[in-house]
Chains A and B, each alone.
Chain A
Amino acid sequence: MRRALLAILFFIALIAIWMAVVRAKIWSPILLPSPGSVAEYLGSAFRDGTLLQATAVTLRRLLLGYFIGLAIGLPLGLLTASSKFMEDTIGVLALGLQTLPSVCWVPLALLWFGQTEGAMLFVVIMGTVWSVVIATDTGVRTIPPIFARAARTMGSGPFHRWIHVILPASLPYLISGMKQGWAFAWRSLMAAEIYVTILTGFGLGHLLHYGRELNAMDQVIGIMLVIVVIGLLADKILFSPWERFLHRRWGTGRV
């Protein structure tokens, strides 16, 4: 209770500082809108449906790309961890491509797929896959070999061992990899939506982009807030339950 209260106080203070800076008129209100006008924009965008629609479009792209990225990245990571050949080929490729900011994929995506959903999806998947591969690989490599030995003496065959020992044993790494993958997917999608204008649906990135074109800073800041809040919610809803499970079972982290 006390923690929640302190957190609320912190954010009220943040908004108060923002208002004070606006009042001080250091920057023109066109560059720095007041919290009130941002709230006003969000209210009207919510009422006329643009905000909800854009959020839905963005989330659909994000989830689709993210889960395809996971579906590719997890098995690839298992492969790179279990075969020297895959480690020297796919492993090195993943390590290299992971350092590539996902916005760098946008020009290529535009040329290959045109201004389509496919281009969006491609950028998100490329942003997700490599970090998932590397997290899975690390996770599998850090498993104490005694787990697999113990399982073998109990009659666990190779396939059973992958499902019931290797994967659950690397769960702490898998979760942090999935979390990182999620953050990368979110970033790549925003980059894609800002750069790629397509007619099959306006996402949050497009609203941000048009806000800039129209010099509507209340829209820009409002959409940024929405993006931050979605990121926070995703963390709380998608990953927190898993992390709580890990803390409880493994006894790691906070007690």
Chain B
Amino acid sequence: MSLQEELKGPPPAKLIVDQVSKWFQQKRQNVHALDDVSFDVAEGEFIVIVGPSGCGKSTLLDIIAGLEHPDKGQVLADNQPVDNPGRHRLVMFQESALFPWLNVFGNVMFGLRLKPGLRNSERREVAKFFLYLVGLEKFMEANVHELSGGMKQRVALARALAPNPRVLLMDEPFAALDAMTREQLYGDIQAIWQKRRKTIIFVTHNVREAACLADRVMIMSPTPGRLREIFEVNLPRPRDFNSIEIAQHAAQLTRALKSYAPDPTPAKV
């Protein structure tokens, strides 16, 4: 890279969330969902946003995805303002959101078909590769309803990874799974992240999950949704969900979350 390019080149941040605020108009009141949220995400970073329900973390993810528009501020992805959803920022949802009218292979192909510049034979190869990556190459022809919850989320992961998005957004993707399956998926997602070095923004309310997966944890508090603190987790990978270090980090996160929680209204006796 020449000096000229180095000086004029884009900032290193992959994604910039710049003073984003959002209100929701409801029947009785105007809900202040997000208040002046700003942070940067570096290329290849694993960010986890953690907070209690109602802190606006899912709304924030929707805004980054382009599914919602901020009322103030903006989101820049690769220096371009985000206006609309697009395949550079794919979302993996809490429910698998797999299409029941397609089989497993068809679901992974859906996003690939929308990606220009590939031959269909190449698309099929890519889809097979990612199904192999999530360990479901034997279930290509299976129907969605025949899969277990964990398998469905793996297909959803393959579907989100296959078009090679620049950023992968994950909205509590493992919340509906049982503990065993979830722990297995923590291992899988770390292995895939290390292999593919994808920029990931992961939303959860589970602090242990946050400590296990994140490079940096964004702590949010509700009413209005604010970004309070950024925690770095400097632990070697792969991390074991059940290790003491993770538990210690999780305890720190919990303390932080509690300190920002609004004063509990005393129960009326």
Give chain A's interface residues, CB within 8 Å of chain B.
144, 146-147, 149-156, 160, 164-165, 168-169, 171, 248-251
Contact = CB atoms under 8 A, between A and B. Distances in A.
With most chain B CB atoms within 10 A of its CB, the pick from A156, A165, A249, A251 is A249
A155 B87 contact: yes
A151 B115 CA distance: 13
B85 A153 contact: yes
Nearest to A249: B143
- How big is the B interface, by class? 20 to 34
A155 B160 CA distance: 12
6 contacts: A154-B163, A155-B111, A160-B114, A168-B99, A250-B101, A251-B143
B99 A169 contact: yes
Interface stretch (B3-11, B45-53, B90-98, B120-128): B90-98
A253 B95 CA distance: 22
A231 to B, nearest CB: 28
Contact of B114 (A147, A156, A171, A251): A156
B99 A154 contact: no
A153 B146 contact: no
Contact of A154 (B102, B114, B146): B114
Nearest to A164: B110
Nearest to A251: B145
B93 to A, nearest CB: 6
Nearest to B156: A150
Contacts of A169: 99-101
A54 to B, nearest CB: 40
A150 B114 contact: no
A248 B103 CA distance: 10
Contacts of B114: 154-156, 160
Interface of B: 65-67, 85-87, 89-91, 93, 95, 97, 99-103, 110-111, 114-115, 143-146, 159, 163, 169
Given A149-B67, A249-B103, A154 B111 contact: yes
Contact of A251 (B91, B93, B146, B159): B146
Contact of B101 (A151, A154, A156, A171): A171
Given A153-B90, A155-B86, A250 B97 contact: no
Given A168-B101, A250-B100, A153 B95 contact: no
Given A165-B99, A169-B101, A248-B143, A154 B87 contact: yes
Across the A-B interface, give the 3 residue pairs with the lowest CB-CB distance, nearest first: A251-B145, A155-B87, A154-B111
Given A155-B115, A250-B100, A251-B145, A150 B91 contact: yes
A171 to B, nearest CB: 6
Contact of A149 (B93, B143, B145): B93
B116 to A, nearest CB: 9
Contacts of A164: 110
Contacts of A249: 100-101, 103, 143-145
Contacts of A144: 97
A43 B85 CA distance: 66
A147 B156 CA distance: 12
Contacts of B99: 147, 150, 165, 168-169
Which has the most chain A C-beta neighbours within 10 Å: B86, B93, B97?
B97
B91 A153 contact: yes
A152 B97 contact: no
A146 B65 CA distance: 14
Contacts of A153: 65-67, 85-87, 89-91, 169
Given A149-B93, A250-B143, 10 more contacts: A146-B95, A150-B97, A153-B169, A154-B114, A154-B159, A168-B101, A169-B101, A249-B101, A251-B144, A251-B146
A230 to B, nearest CB: 30
A48 to B, nearest CB: 48
Contacts of B97: 144, 146-147, 149-150
B245 to A, nearest CB: 34
B145 A250 contact: yes
Nearest to A151: B110
Nearest to A145: B97
A152 B67 contact: yes
